[in-house]
Structure 1
Amino acid sequence: MIESKYEDGCVTDVAAKTAEIEIVPVSDKRGRAAFVDLGRAFSDRLEHFVPQIRSEQIELVDPAKNPFFGHARVQLFIASRGGQPVGRISAHIDELALAMPAEQGFGPGTGFFGYFDAEDEDVARALLTAAEGWLVGEGMTRVLGPISLSIWEEPGLLVSGQDHPPMLLMGHHPAHYAGWIEAAGFTRAKTLYTYDLDITSGFGPLVDRLVQTGQRNPRINLRRVDKSRWDEEVATILAILNDAWSDNWGFVPFTPAEVAYAGKKLRAIIHEELNVIVEVDGRPVAFMLTFPDVNDALAKIKGKLFPFGWIYMLRWLRHPKGAGMRVPLMGVLKELHGTRMAGQLAFMMIEAIRLEAIGKFESTRGELGWVLEDNQGMLAIADTIKSKVNREYVIYERKLS
């Protein structure tokens, strides 16, 4: 078993660099911890990286805790050379993704790689080969990645935007990884964008008119999420999400277990003022989730809750004054797609949350995304509110023989 010790994250011995690369599959508790610690060591090298909480990272690769494993097969690998760990990768198969139509990006025969870190291009190639070999052995004919582990967790490789810290739930990777993956025969399957937004001023007369018209419409009721009945609200949001996103590239539905897991995880960063559901004629048809960027706090405590980081974290969670705000998810029922009302509801939600973020939390900046490169509706909304692409992520693909 590979030890989790990684020194300063660099292999400096010439003999070690020329030694044979060994790829070891890991699956037990110790191996998963080593896998996470190796990723953390790589991340520590990166400028603007924000350390995450180690226990939560371990939980994401634990089959007993992450409900993703309830419909997925996962194999983790660690690469070593000269006795030193020099890279890691996951190979995984999502049974729900296999059941989706091929024209939506996944479908039969599609496996994935994720959690990709490598010391150099030789290690990168060896890791990708190991992941592909495992997927072929499981009957897969195509590989996509990096997706770590679910499309709803951290999809894509950061190829642009390394010059500033990521917001929560978004990956941060060195620019040279893209060249190594492409040199191994991978091509771009899909590009994802995040958008930076100055929220200190409004979005112009057109948006103002749409919002005001919607506010006067007695059929439309925009309300805050009610944390006193949190489980019910989460179920409502996820029902809208599963419908609204069902035709999108890469869509995989949330399972009931994942709904419960996500609800429990997100509750601590939910502020009712920043999360809304819209009802039309009394029926929920749209939602928008906005989270204070917990990476602001994690950067201050360097990802460590103990001995005293938890005190700062609790205070921050109660009132994240000045925090950036991220909109990771929003959706409108599919029956309204392409209608004037769909856009109107979106702008109503954005404006309502913008005012709350400024007024209560003194925020100045927001971020939307990720957004698919061909999601014309969301691209149009992002353009209308004068947001700018600040990060670009790529999901790569390759046929397997």
Structure 2
Amino acid sequence: MSKILVVDDEKSIRDALSDILIEEGYEVLTGEDGEDGWSKLQDEKIDLVLCDIKMPKMDGMELLGKVSEEGLDIPFVMISAHGTIDTAVDATKKGAYDFIQKPPDLNRILLTVRNALESSKLTTETKVLRKKVSKGFEIIGESKGIAEVKETIEKVAPTEARVLIHGENGTGKELVARWLHEKSTRSKAPLVEVNCAAIPSELIESELFGHEKGSFTSAHKQRIGKFEQAHGGTLFLDEIGDMSLSAQAKVLRALQDKKINRVGGDKSISVDVRVLAATNKNLKQEIEKGNFREDLYHRLSVMVITVPPLRERKEDITLLSEHFLEQVATEYGTAKKELEGGAIDQLQKYDWTGNIRELRNVIERLVIMSQDTIKVGDVKKYVET
């Protein structure tokens, strides 16, 4: 049941609003002025405030401002008999959900209340989901190599610099890209990922830049490419070392001109994207072999972040294992299993050619096959060497 606070210095208004809201199944508290309302907000968990503007002691605008300053995420619906367009605009700028003139139309009040509560619920769910997603994509570790990666992310993320992320398969290059986006000024816009190695060379240009209907045999309708989808946000080109030379040329042009052309189209489309790229290849060697454009390399590598392999950061295996044990337990809906000290020591003896991805798979295998505590013998038995 949602709890609504009605703040108004007119008892008749408080009573009328309380009666109609209670009839609709809401729990209602009242305050006779801004100070009384602020006291209620401190003592109770309020889901929505209906607030008069002109009141003694502390008026509605002051109360709204105080709630905003304290960081309380509570929707306000302002009500006033002295409303003007300027007042409504000012209230909205200060964070009010809506502005209603007195005498209030009760049907409009109820509709506004329902909409405000639903909007607040969706906002809260989105924040919770974002926190869960962020937690699921943490960069785990305290080793020197990972500390340097995290420090670089903190410095580079707020800028518009392009970043080339280098590392072996399974080291977590995509996590670095995700955190560069999450900590950037573009975090509310989309992060669009493209695995260049997974797309056939004849389709990569259509995937990146889109195509017009009829531009080739199977182009039955217009398609929007990844560059356009990422407009205003971040485009992550994973395994860019596997991109064809013809596609590289078009990516270079897009970065230079900030414009793209769909396949089969002659119209230039402006795009505002920050490009992050990742590869497990030595691109300088690929340039010497003629497999990668040197000019594109220099466009992409304003900053280079190298993610160390797990064999060079074995001191992080304890933290990573604990993280994966919690993750697997959550996914399976079971109690978290423990790793005895000797089992951790045994895990640190392996080279982990598959890096973090391999360790994650091994922990899941151990959770499935072991008893409540994972022992040294389990590790020796179920880790492939």
Pairwise TM-score range, normalised by the shorter structure:
under 0.3
Greater helix content: 2
- Give the structure with the larger strand fraction: 1
Q: Which protein, 1 or 2, shows the higher relative CO under an 8 Å CA cutoff with sep ≥ 6?
A: 1
